[in-house]
Structure formats: structure tokens, C-alpha cells
Amino acid sequence: MRLEPKPAPSLGILLLYPLAAVAATVVIASLLVLAAGASPFSVFYLVAKGAAGSQFALMETLSRATPLIFTGLAVAVAFRAKLWNIGAEAQLYMGGVMTVVLGTGLLPLPSYLLIPIIMVAVMAAGALLLLGPAVLKTRFGVDEVVTTLLLNFIVLLFVSMLLEGVLKDPMGLGWPQSQKLIAEARLPRIVTGRRLHYGFVIAVVAAVAMWVVMKKTTLGYEMRAVGHNPEGARFLGIPVNRVLMKTALLSGGLAALAGFSEVAGLKGNLTLDLSPGFGYTGIVVAMLAVLNPLGVVASAIFVAGVFVGADAMSRSAGVPSYIADVMVATSLLTMVTAMLLVRYRVRWK
Amino acid sequence: MTEALEILFTASFWVAAIRIASPLIFATMGELICERAGVLNLGIEGIMTVGAFAGWFTVYSGGDLWTGVLIAALAGAAFGFLHATLTVPLGLSQHVVGIGITLLATSLTYFTYRLALPEVTSPPKIEPFATLPIPGLARIPIIGEALFSQTPLTYLAFVSVVLVAWVLYKTPLGLAIRAAGENPSAVEAQGISVTAIRMGAVMAGSALMAVGGAFLTMSAFNSFFFNMINGRGWICIALVVFGSWRPGKALIGAILFAAFDAYQVRLQQLSGGVVPYQVFLMLPYILSILALVLVARRATYPKALMIPYQKGER
């Protein structure tokens, strides 16, 4: 068996293959639903209804998509330069830490000053956290996949230490949680009484900004060149290591904003369960969007819809909500396969 | 201070160290085979989760212990097959596919667990492997107790190291595996299929990873719970690098790491809560990163690692 390059695909092919990937995912999920003794049609109807069947559902989905846009952007930017940042989870938590350090009364400022200051500090914290593995990669040749993965565990323990120590809320009845943010540090809700907050708007703005950076700036060009062929990029006089550093700063900063937006927009304080794996899911979000920053918004909303819909479905249909995780992981594998088959033909011989 | 040193001379400390090392040894050998053939397998964390569940669930449903180990290995090999199909003949990114396999294997395991035991709050226990002291040898002070008073799965972990080393260095198959990771076109020139060698290596390696996971449920914790692998798979990837892709060195790395892990638990008790316990729990992960920094400069990784091979291409 071997792969043969195909001529440039038509628009029809370009749409057909990803749709086939989604269909394959649905078929596999249906088998699991059948195994759970439920009817796939009613289950998928309930998932769709739970994700987008009402104003409440839709807002819930957009709210869940917000951190995924940030982590998805972080991964998309990094993977474009082939910097394998699998540590968005850790960077997210560092963002959460920085938010509660500055936002619980340390800086008594009005919102229009406080929120930008917190955001800059949050991005710096996440950027610095990824700078470590990036330096180890470029200076010592240490694979960043392993270091970023291990940092996820280290940072989570670090946060646990802070929440049981210096950041512990004295009024928290012994629970490991931080104090509540002051009102000036909170991101307001978009519609009163719904959970959707202005973090979503910031996320979309960030996506547009990243699209501009990737497509219209020298840095974006250099990142793509480094990701495509580091040796060639070096030959063209691109400072490969410096580009990787800038990529790391950008990617870490974006992932940390996910932590900021969850704490300031949704939770109001920092707990150890701030993220149910948003950092890892960000990898799927980025790959489904073929690393396109604008595509990240769409794929984050899709993935969030699957999770929100499955939660609602599992309450009424009794199929474990882990089906959402299975669907998201399956769609990652089917989608990368589909994108390969768009470009190559498989020859059996 | 002397108390902290005395720990190192107790048998119970070394017994614990070898017990902690056992799952790491299996999984590190598994990852080593994959990487020696040229494939980075980031599915390891998820495949260990599958193995942990498959072994435990087999016994929980009435199967015997060795059947559980076999089922775990087969389940691991099945996910290895999926990983290999996507990364070897299709040549997809080993990073992306590996993470995808970990996410898929983990979520499928959790789904199945919830389906099989919907109402359970505290995970049910099974009767695990019993310790099997080797007559005579087990009575040697400290070393004998540590090495020869363990469960059969621990002995199997050491056997797997000997087996992997023997196959890699003493058999034509091992030569083909190593060459597939160094210079695949030379393998093809011998009329051997690189695709077949790599796929076989990933499946065999994944089976070993799954047995490593099964050790946790069948010879350590006796039940299955969420997040129980807790980064052990990623640590094994670091151990392969630390062991410069050699089974013997990787074994020593795994034992050193486990000894350190066992030591930090005991230090934690000694410190009496002055230092937050999280600091001790962080140490093994920090140690892994430091070890990588130390060896990275002179690491001689397989030259074709992470490079997909296409027949007829140079």
C-alpha cells in the first residue's frame, strides 16, 4: 500500500471528506448508544436539542465554547510552527491563578483598568510557563511534548498547594478554593440571567487577531515556514529559535486567557476543577479547524455543543455523558484521516 | 536527618520501590519497542488506562487473573493496531494521532465503566495477584525481599526486559526492528516490509503498555478508578529517553524513578506536614524533566523516529 498525491481538490471534495469524517463519527457513536440499550435517533435528537434547541441551550453552548476557543487558538498557533504544546491545561490554570492573585482586592481599580491589567498579567504568566519547555527544546534539545505534558501535573499540584495555602479563602469552610473576585474584576454577562459572558466576545476578537497575525504579518509567515520545514526556514535566514520563542509566548498567553475567562466570566473564583480537560480538548478543536484561527471558533462551538448536548441527553436518556468525549476523540482521528485522503490517493498493490 | 537515610536500608522501602517500578517497566519496554521501530506512541497514557480497566473488569466479571492479563494485552494491541494503521501506512502525524488515541482510549474506557457499573460510587475491589516468594532467594536480606517476594506480574515485568533485550539484539527480527527505526530503506532493500515491522512493533509495544496498566488494578490498587494512570505513561516516555532507548538502561531508570517515588512518600510522612504534601508529589515529575535535560544533549535517538516511511522514497 502506498500514497499517491492527488491533483488540487475541488471545493466539493474539500467539503465531502470532512462530512464523511463526521458521518463516521456518528456511526461509531451510534454503535455505543446501541450498546447502552438506547436508540441512536432519539439520543442524537436529545444531544442536538440540548446543544441548540433553545435560547438557553445555545447560550450554554457558546459559554462552554469560550475556553475552548482560547485553548484551540493556543494549540493552532503552536502546531502551525510544529511547537507541540500539549500543556494548554497547565497554562490555563496559571491564568486562573494570576486572575485571582490580582482580582481579589489587591488592585482596587475600576473595571476598565483592572480587567486589561489582569489580562496582560495572565498572558504573561501563561507565556512564561510555555517559555520553559521552549527554551529546553531550542537550547538542550528536550522534546517539548513530554515537558509540557509533565508540567500539566506539576502545575495542577502547584495550584492545589496554593488553594490549600496562600490563596485559600478563609471563609471557604475549609474547601480548597480561592476568594471571590471583586466585582470590578468580573466580566459582565451578555444577557442578564444567562451564563454567557463577555469572555466569548474576547475569544472571538482573539481569533480574528490570530487570523490576522497568521495570514498578514511577517511573524505568521515565519511561523508557517518554520512549521513547514525548519531547515529550509533556517536557509532562508529566518531565526528559527526566535520564532519558536515568540510562538511559545503567544500560545501560552492564549491558553492562559482561557483560565482568566472561566474565572472572571463564569466561576468567580479558582477551584481545582476549573477545567475538565479544556487544554487537551483544545488540541481536537485546533485539528478540526485545520489550525485556522477563524475555524477554531466554529469547531469550538461544535465541540462545546457535543459536550453540552450530551450532558443534557445523559440526564434524560441514561447513556453515559462520556459518549461526548468518545465522539470528540473519534472526530479528531477521522478528521485527520479525511484531510489526508483529500490530498492523497491510497494505492493497494 | 539520619531517619531520612535509614529509610534507604529498610526492606519495605525497596519492596515498595520494585512494586512501583513494575507497571513503569512494562510500559517503558512497550514504548521502547515502538520508538526503536521509528514510531513515537503518545497513545501510551490511554492504552494503560484501557489495560487497567480490561484486566480488572475481566476478573470482576468472573475471569481468572491470567485471563485478565491476556485480555488487557489484547485490548492494548487493538488500540496499537489503530495507532499503527494511522501513523505507519497512512503516515499521519504521530503527535496528533497519539494524543487522539489517548483521548479515545480513555473516554471509551470511562464510557464502558459507567455503562457496566452505573450506580457505583466506591469502585469494587477484586482479589489481586498474591505475592509469590521465590523459595530460598526471598530470604536474602533486603535485596531478596525486594526482588523475590513480589507478585508474579512483577517477575513478568523483569522477564519482559530480558525478552525485549534478547529480541532486539539477538534475533533477526530485532535487527529488522532496529533498522526500521534507523534506516528503513535498508530494511526494504532486504525484502522486509517496513510497514509490517513497524505495525507489529507498535501492536506488541501497546500490548505491553496495557499490561503495565493492568498491573495497577490487578497487583497494586485492586480496583479501577478514574485518572488512575495519572501521568505514568508520560513518565515512561521520559524513561525511554533517559535510558537512551536501551532496555537495560531504561530498567535502571524505572527502578531509580520508583525508588525516588517511594522515598518521597516516606519523606512526606517524616516531614510531619511542615512542607506541603504537593511539593513531594511534584518531585517525581520535576525529576523526569531534569533527567531529560541531563541526557538530551548526548541522546542518540533512532534516526527515523517520527519520520513516516513510504516505499520507494528516499
The pairing of beta strand A344-347 with beta strand A2-5: antiparallel
CB contacts < 8 A (A, B): 134
| Chain B nearest CA to A332, separation (Å) | 6
Of B238, B243, B111, nearest to B165 by C-alpha is B243
Q: Which residue among B91, B104, B231 places its CB closest to the CB of A329? A: B104
Q: Which residue among A161, A322, A330 places its CB closest to the CB of B110? A: A322
State the Cα angle at B245 between B8 and A85, rounded to 5°: 95
> Quick check: A28 contacting B, CB < 8 Å?
no
Distance CA B19, CA B3 (A): 22
- A212 three-state secondary structure: helix
Task: Decide if A135 is inside a domain.
Answer: yes
Task: Decide if A329 is inside a domain.
Answer: no
Closest CA in chain B for residue A332: B100
pLDDT tens for each residue of A39-69: 999 999 999 999 999 999 999 999 999 999 9
Decide if pLDDT at B314 tops 60: no
Q: Virtual CA dihedral for B43, B49, B51, B55, nearest 10 degrees? A: -170
Q: Which residue among A165, A283, A340 places its CB closest to the CB of B90? A: A340
**Which residues constitute the domain of residue A250?**
38-318
Task: Decide if A177 is inside a domain.
Answer: yes
Of A325, A251, A266, nearest to A89 by C-alpha is A251
B50 Cα distance to chain centroid: 13
| Chain B nearest CA to A175, separation (Å) | 16
The residues with which B227 forms a beta bridge, in sequence order, are none
Q: State whether A161 and B115 contact (CB < 8 Å).
A: no
| Chain B nearest CA to A190, separation (Å) | 33
| Chain A nearest CA to B292, separation (Å) | 6
Of A229, A177, A199, nearest to A71 by C-alpha is A199
The residues with which A177 forms a beta bridge, in sequence order, are A271
The residues with which A5 forms a beta bridge, in sequence order, are A344
Alpha helices (H) along chain A: 11-35, 40-52, 55-80, 88-103, 111-135, 144-164, 199-216, 218-228, 230-235, 240-261, 278-288, 293-317, 322-343
- B41 three-state secondary structure: coil
What is the arithmetic mean of pLDDT over A84-108?
A: 96
| Chain B nearest CA to A326, separation (Å) | 5
Domains along chain B with CATH numbers: 2-116+141-296 (1.10.3470)
Q: Containing H/E element for B34?
A: helix B11-36
Closest CA in chain B for residue A86: B99
pLDDT tens for each residue of A214-246: 999 999 999 999 999 988 999 989 999 999 999
Residues of chain B with Cβ-Cβ distance to A287 below 8 Å are 96
Interface test with B, best of A75, A150, A284 (most B CBs within 10 A): A150
The residues with which A189 forms a beta bridge, in sequence order, are A197
Q: How confident is the model at residue B299 (pLDDT cuts 50, 70, 90)?
A: confident
Q: Determine the length of chain A.
A: 349
Task: Decide if A192 is inside a domain.
Answer: yes
Distance CA A77, CA A292 (A): 9
| Chain B nearest CA to A147, separation (Å) | 6
> Quick check: A326 contacting B, CB < 8 Å?
yes
Residue B124 backbone class (left: φ over 0; alpha: ψ -120 to 50; beta: rest): beta
Decide if pLDDT at A331 tops 50: yes
B133 compared with B42, residue with greater pLDDT:
B42
Task: Decide if A14 is inside a domain.
Answer: no
What domain count does chain A have? 1
B213 compared with B5, residue with greater pLDDT:
B213
Q: State whether A150 and B91 contact (CB < 8 Å).
A: no
> Quick check: A107 contacting B, CB < 8 Å?
no
What is the arithmetic mean of pLDDT over A165-184?
A: 90
Decide if pLDDT at B270 tops 90: no
pLDDT tens for each residue of A186-210: 999 998 888 999 999 999 999 999 9
Q: State whether B103 and A158 contact (CB < 8 Å).
A: no
pLDDT tens for each residue of B82-110: 999 999 999 999 999 999 999 999 999 99
The predicted complex's ipTM stands at: 0.94
Task: Decide if A348 is inside a domain.
Answer: no
Q: State whether A328 and B234 contact (CB < 8 Å).
A: no
Decide if pLDDT at A338 tops 90: yes
Distance CA B306, CA B289 (A): 21
pLDDT tens for each residue of B169-223: 999 999 999 999 999 999 999 999 999 999 999 999 999 999 999 999 999 999 9
Decide if pLDDT at A107 tops 50: yes
State the Cα angle at A96 between A95 and A97, rounded to 5°: 90
Distance CA A178, CA B22 (A): 39
Q: Containing H/E element for B154?
A: helix B152-170
Q: Which residue among B92, B111, B115 places its CB closest to the CB of A340? A: B92
pLDDT tens for each residue of A108-140: 999 999 999 999 999 999 999 999 999 999 999
Q: How far is CA A22 from CA A281, A321, A329, B23, in A?
A: 17, 19, 12, 37
Q: How confident is the model at residue B313 (pLDDT cuts 50, 70, 90)?
A: low
pLDDT tens for each residue of B62-81: 999 999 999 999 999 999 99
Is residue A146 within 8 A of residue B240, CB to CB? The reply is no
Alpha helices (H) along B61-151: 65-87, 94-116, 143-148
**Residue A55 sits in a domain of what CATH number?**
1.10.3470
Residue A182: the pLDDT is 95
A15 compared with B255, residue with greater pLDDT:
B255
Task: Decide if A72 is inside a domain.
Answer: yes
> Quick check: A337 contacting B, CB < 8 Å?
yes
Decide if pLDDT at B139 tops 90: no
Q: How confident is the model at residue B312 (pLDDT cuts 50, 70, 90)?
A: low
| Set of cell numbers at residue B253 | 531508570
Task: Decide if A333 is inside a domain.
Answer: no
